[in-house]
Homo-oligomer: A and B are copies of this chain.
Amino acid sequence: MNITIVGAGNVATHLALALRQKNYTISAIYSRTAASAQTLAKTIGAIATTNLDQLPDTPIYIYCLKDDALPTVVSQVTSLHSQSLHLHTSGSIGLEIFPNACKRCGVLYPLQTFSKQRPVDFAHIPCFVEGRDVQSQQEIKALAKSISSDVNILNSEGRRALHLAAVFACNFVNRCYAIGEYVLREKAGVAFEKLLPLIDETATKVHHLSPREAQTGPAIRYDRRVIEAHLGMLAFKPLWQALYRNLTDDIHNDKLRP
């Protein structure tokens, strides 16, 4: 089965590699940036193009683009290849991005954080799929099942919430690591590596306890003396002070809930 991947970023790279491994043929890689298209195309044996009009006619098109770029690109490619199956991979975009004339379309959203430098095992990534009609949905589900053992049906509204949850559980978590790293290095002269056992245990814990049960620290004990001292240490960065105060209040309020 031949597939065209529209995009050459993190999601495009990992999805292309996973599909290639399952013996799909990636015919072409499109990117606005020639170098990006060429790098990925070379890795998986596809042609590279920066011209949407020159995409080959394939049974499947998968869009892995920044959300802002999707509307124009999808509109152009679906009109040129109206009989194919078109799917995007965005958590926050619904089916309405596809023109009404595009009958066979939908979404394959892999719930994972992708960086080009990090290999990932697609088999264990929860994938959330949606199709405009039953037939498209079945085809997308089958495609997803060929690369992941955890495929779920979810509508656009649910997927938007899922994406928001992922922003907290991944993107904001990672920012908390970054703040921890800065404080550790600048204020204690200790290397970030020393935090890794704590970071690992914090993640592993919630496999066994709910996050509310797993909560520890000065905020849940509401240890005002420590909280005030920490706020004082953050005086050099008011935004981090505000974060500290809000997260502490949120943990404390939650504990008070029935």
Interface residues of A (CB under 8 A from B): 10, 66-68, 92, 111-115, 117-118, 120, 124-126, 150, 152, 154, 157-181, 183-184, 187-190, 192, 194-221, 223, 225-226, 229-230, 233-234, 239-240, 242-244, 246-247, 249-251, 253-254
Contact = CB atoms under 8 A, between A and B. Distances in A.
Most B CB within 10 A of own CB, among A190, A207, A211, A230: A211
7 contacts: A112-B201, A114-B216, A118-B208, A152-B194, A162-B190, A192-B210, A196-B207
A216 B247 contact: no
A234 to B, nearest CB: 8
A218 B163 CA distance: 10
Contacts of A246: 239, 242-243, 246
Contacts of A230: 92, 163-164, 167
Contact of A199 (B169, B181, B219, B240): B169
A219 B223 CA distance: 32
